[in-house]
Every structure is written in structure tokens, then in C-alpha cells.
Structure 1
């Protein structure tokens, strides 16, 4: 069963407004709307003409923005891929994802982040008889690495993260580093913006290409990037949306999706 979307249209509005550093007064003037209409939208009122007006200065895809508000934008149907599992665990008032990816033939793989609790992942690693030489981190925000000590101790895996966020006893890599695990080839792409070392892992060798994107992109949204919004948008365009449309995107929050689906329905994709 698919997870619900992480963000509503109100979240998208807020992320874009903060990222572009619009005050309410500035956004109201740019959208040629009364402040009362903007405030109503910020509180969740759905009025299509208002949302379309707001989308213009926020540089959002108006059709996708309205579809999200009208709840016509449902999560993508992602095909089953042997060698890929998603884990969703509660963390405070939200949930966070982690992933297990492996070569089904050679039984070797890697974990991506830990989530709040890696117990279910560890059970699968044991039951599948997998070797896990690496724990690969998309970024080091606490919700994504909350169970790192337990996962590292249980697997004996080496922990790796982009050099922009490397601290303590971890291995640091530069963008473009390649990991080879059995028949899997994992390429690192720096998709900073949400965090300075945010990394997307492009995985080839399964039945479909897979990209573990962390908080760079969510289904129908993206991670907050208040201080590096333009950087986040450009990295997503150049390094994620440029992937084949059947690439499965595995975000840090919410359901999995595909590049093709996000090009159609993500308000932040405007090309």
C-alpha cells in the first residue's frame, strides 16, 4: 500500500515562498491579489483562480499546483522491483524513509539511511542472507540517521557520506564516486540545497533504474531549502529530472514515485 503524500499544496506554497524570500505583502502584490486571498490560501482554502495567480510569482507549475490542491494528484503507481525495499518509520510527528537495495543473485547490497528504527530492515537482511558492506547516507539530518549506531553495529558496514557533511568516523566521497556491489553500480550525485551534502544515489543493475534521492525531491513536492532554494531547484533539474522517465525515485519522506510522473505532476517542475 502506497504511503500518503508528504506535502499538501499549502506546504508547497510555503516552501516556494520561503525559498524565494517573499514576504506576504510582496507575494500578494506580485500575484495581484488581496492579502486576504493569500492568507486564505495559506490556511488551505482552495480557490483555483487564486492558486493560479500565486503560482506565477512562485515559479510553480500552475496545473500541477491546482491538481495537488484539488486532490487530483495521487501518488504514482511504482512497479515492484526485486532488490528494492522501502521502510517507513515514525519520527516525532512525522515519518521518515530508509531503503535496502541488493543484487538478488549475489546477495550483496547497501542500506540508504536508517530511519528512526532499522529493526525491520535488519530482519530482512538476515532473512535474505545479505552481505551489507556499506551504509550510504543521503544526508546527516537526525531523522535520517537516528538508528545509525544500531545498524552499523549489526551489519559491520562502513558508513559513507558526501564529503560536504562528513564528520566523525565515516568515509567521505566526492561527487561522481562509484560503488560496485555484485551486479549493481551505484553513482553518487551531489543534489545539495536541502542540505549542503545532500546526495542522490543512482543505481543500475536492477530491473529498472532507481535513484535514492533523500530530501531533494518528494512525490509532488521537494524538501525545504530556505537558504539554498535556487541551488536545490537547479540540482533537481540537472541531476534528477534528467534521468530516464522510468527511473524510480525513492525519497526521504512520502511514497516512491518516478521521474516521468514528477515531470507531469510536481509543482516545482516547470520546464
Structure 2
């Protein structure tokens, strides 16, 4: 699979945060002490680092992480999972969307997380690996994430599951509650509520593969986050509480953009990175006796 571009540019991040926190251009310009014309330039993608750093602080963004994003100097390099995991990236008009397949290597039991827009490659891999798909698990029900639900469900015969806060309109679909578990042989999948972008947005935390894996839909992107015009603060809060509390070696499978890792996002995601702690300066003990020459 070719490299998948980051979902959001630095300008997207600024616009998303400003819209989510409900701050007008005039207010943000005043707070950051930059001309309105400079803010307009930033939001259109013209990176002035000094202005960018001033604006970041008033949008609860980490200035260093936002600057790296603006300079195109970051891209995640997640470790490879040798078996039991596959990522698919399908086109949805001008953008792309991700979906995933996880399976237990011994029992060949599998689960699909979201469907993307094209079922072909997914169904081919299921056949090639002789998998028995038990569950189709939906992170949320936005159209790009469930576009291929009907042909995939028909082909696999798997049960379809969505959050009780966001049921899917599909015959026979079932709902799960927060912290529900799904089992595939030795794999365990836990449903974590990371709502905000949508009412029932769920992160599926998979244990039993080479690395812990969080398949999070639009809860988190590499170097960004899913937006919401009405519940953005909740999205940030729930993502921080449920995803950033996972083991530090966890991999992150977002709904858009490249596969990433929790360790990478802790440093490079403007919404969640925090400045490195400054080393403590230990004062010299002036009471020590002066060595004799």
C-alpha cells in the first residue's frame, strides 16, 4: 500500500480547533495579538511560524507540534504487525477512508472494523486466509465508514454491531454498550466510548496481536482529531481519557490517514502533545569546603 497522506494540514487543525472551541476570527486575532489578515493567511495554509505559534496557544494546541506539521517534517512510522491484521484504504470521492480486518491465527475467527467503500480487496483476503468472519464492528455510522456494509455482511454472514448510542439502519443489526467485549479465539476486543464526533463513536481496543491496537474511527487521526461543531470539547476529552491512557506501545488505526502509534501522537499531535519538561537545575552547595591546593 502506498503512503497515505496525513488527514489534516496545519491549517485544517487551526480551523478545526477554532470552530470546535467557538472562537471567532476577531477574538482569536485579538488574543494572539496578530492582524486579522495574518490569521486569514494562516487559515488558508500560509505558514508564518511566529504567527502560528501565537495562535496555537489560544487554541489549546502545542506550538512545537503544530510547527512541525506546518513544515511537513513529521510522518508516523508504525511497526509492522506480521499476522492477524490488515488495513484497507478505499476512495470516497475526493478523500479516502480506512477499514480493518483482525483475526486469530489459530482459530481463523475474524472481525471487520468499518467497511470502507469498496469490499473487493477485503473479501479477497478473507477468502485467501480462509477466515470465518464473526463480527462487523462499526466505529460510527457516517456514510463513508459503512458504505460497503450490505455486500460485506451478505458475503460473510457476520453479525453487524454498532453502539447503542448510534444504531445502524441495517436489517438484524445489534447494539453494544460501553466496555463490551468481543472474542476471536485468543483475541479480545473491547469497545471504548470516544464519542464527540458522533454520538456513539467507539474505539475498538484489540489485545492478543503483536502490539496492542486501537481502531478508533474518527476519534483520532495522526497529528489531528475528528471534528465536531457541537461536541468538540467532549471529543478531545474522551479521546484523551480513553485512548491516551492505553499502553504506550499501542498502535492507532484511524478512520482516515496513516496508521500511527500512541508514542508518536504523544509527541506530534498538536491537540495532545505537551511541551517537554525542562530539566531541573540543581544549585551548587556553597557550604562545601573549598579544596586545598
TM (norm. structure 1) is 0.98
Separation (CA, whole Å) in 1 of partners of 2:199 and 2:64: 31
Tell me the CA shift for residue 244 of structure 1: 1.2
Q: For residue 21 of structure 1, what is the aligned residue in structure 2?
A: 22
2: CA distance, partners of 1:245 / 1:193: 23
Cα pair distance change 1:116/1:270, threshold 3 Å: same
Count of aligned pairs between the two proteins = 271
- Cα displacement (A) at 1:270: 4.1
Q: Which residue of 2 aligns with 1:156?
A: 157
Indicate the SS of the match to 1:154: helix
- Output the CA distance in 2 between the equivalents of 1:187 and 1:6: 26
Is 1:192–2:198 an aligned residue pair?
no
Q: What CA distance in whole angstroms lies between the structure 1 residues aligned with 2:221 and 2:168?
A: 26
1:79-110 deviations in Å (ceiling 9; x for gaps): 23411110001001100001000011211110
Match of 1:235 among 232, 235, 238: 238
In structure 1, distance between residues paired with 2:250 and 2:168: 31
Contact 2:81/2:211 (CA < 8 Å) preserved in 1? no
- Root mean square deviation, CA, Å: 1.0
How far, CA to CA, are the matches of 1:270 and 1:129 in structure 2? 41
CA-to-aligned-CA distance 1:2-52 (integer Å, 9 cap, x gap):
311111001101100000011111111111111011011011111111000
Q: Counterpart of 2:87 in 1: which secondary structure?
A: strand
CA distance in 1, matches of 2:82, 2:10: 30
CA distance in 1, matches of 2:13, 2:70: 10
The answer (yes or no) to whether the contact 1:78–1:256 under 8 Å persists in 2 is no
1:261 to 264, 268, 291: 264
Contact 2:61 2:272 in 1 (8 A): yes
Query: How far apart in 2 are the matches of 1:21 and 1:161?
Result: 30
Q: Provide closer, same or farther for how the CA distance between residues 97 and 58 of structure 1 changes in structure 2, counting only shifts above 3 A.
A: same
Is the contact made by 2:114 and 2:145 (CA closer than 8 Å) also made in structure 1?
yes
Q: Secondary structure at the match of 1:33?
A: coil
Aligned equivalent of 2:176: 173
Task: Give the corresponding residue for 2:42.
Answer: 41
1:5/1:75 contact within 8 Å kept: no
Query: What corresponds to 1:217 in structure 2?
Result: 220
Question: Larger Cα Rg: Structure 1 or Structure 2?
Answer: 2
What SS does structure 2 have at the residue aligned with 1:164? coil
Measured against aligned partners, the alpha-carbon deviations of 1:148-195 in whole angstroms (never above 9, x if no partner) come to: 000000000000011011144311111010111101000000100111
Question: Is there any run of 5+ residues in structure 2 with no aligned partner, and where?
Answer: 275-293
The DSSP-based 3-state class of the residue aligned with 2:14 is helix
Aligned partners of 2:18 and 2:25: how far apart in 1?
Answer: 8
Distance in 1 between residues matched to 2:258 and 2:91, nearest whole Å: 14
Distance 1:219 1:195 in 2: 19
Out of 244, 247, 252, the position equivalent to 2:247 is: 244
8 Å contact kept, 1:139–1:197: yes
Structure 2 Cα separation of the partners of residues 78 and 27 of structure 1: 39
Whole-Å Cα distance in 1 between the matches of residues 120 and 104 of structure 2? 21
The answer for the alignment partner of 1:122 in structure 2 is: 123
How far did residue 264 of structure 1 move? 0.4
Aligned to 1:165, the other structure's residue is in SS state coil
